[in-house]
Structure 1
Amino acid sequence: MFGDMMGMMEKLKETQQKVEATKKRLDTVLIDEKSNDELLSITLTANRTIKSIEIADELLEDKEQLEDYLILTLNKAIEKATNVNEAELAAVAKEGMPNIPGMDMFK
């Protein structure tokens, strides 16, 4: 029984290390999002850190329009990044789950 417990603890520790490595790797995964008319372009990491924002000159003439573009495009980019982030971390966590009877809800 203690061997099983030690094995599970070791597997959980390995999984935690893989999760941390995945989080670091997600800092290098870039998500690009553009407004429908491509006047605004945003790049962020899968960990939701903004890397760049490109704004067409014509958007600089209308503050309210620019704000609307930023809100819409940032929200779309953040949603995409969150989906990538959650999928990657869930895959690592699922892979590392020990086989505990009754805990098969993750499979």
Structure 2
Amino acid sequence: MFGDMMGMMGKLKETQKKVEETKKRMDTVLIDEKSSDGSLMVTVTANREIKKIDISNELLSDKEQLEDYLILTLNKAIKRATSVQETELAAVAKEGMPNIPGMDSLFK
């Protein structure tokens, strides 16, 4: 009984380490998102850190449109980054979880 418990604890610690490594790796995963007309492009990491904003010169003359494009494009990029991060972390967590009946549905 205690051997199983120790094995599970070891596996959980290993999984925790893998989760931390995955979080660090997400800093290197870059996600590009463009506005509908391509006049604005943003790059964020999978950890939702903005790395780059590229604005066309034409868009600089219309402050209101630029603001709207920034909001829409950044929100789309952040949504995609969140999805990538959640998928990666769920895969690591599922891989490291002990086989407990009924827990499979938590990591789909």
TM-score bracket for the superposition, by shorter chain length: over 0.9
Q: Provide the C-alpha distance between the structure 2 equivalents of 1:37 and 1:61, rounded to a whole number of angstroms.
A: 16
TM-score computed with the length of structure 1 as normaliser: 0.95
Other-structure match for 1:38: 38
Q: Provide the C-alpha distance between the structure 1 equivalents of 2:29 and 2:64, rounded to a whole number of angstroms.
A: 31
Q: When the two structures are aligned, how many residues end up with a matched partner?
A: 107
Is the deviation greater in 94-103 or in 7-16? Answer: 94-103
Other-structure match for 1:29: 29
- Runs (4 or more) in structure 1 with deviation over 2 Å come to 100-107
1:58 Cα deviation after fit? 1.2
Query: Which segments of 5 or more consecutive residues in structure 1 lack a partner in the other structure?
Result: none
1:63 Cα deviation after fit? 1.1
Q: Deviations over 1:12-50 (max 9, x none)?
A: 000000000000111000000001111000001011000
Q: Provide the C-alpha distance between the structure 1 equivalents of 2:94 and 2:22, rounded to a whole number of angstroms.
A: 13
Aligned-residue sequence identity (percent) comes to: 78
Matched, 1:10 2:10: yes
1:105 Cα deviation after fit? 2.9
For 2:20, the aligned partner's letter is E
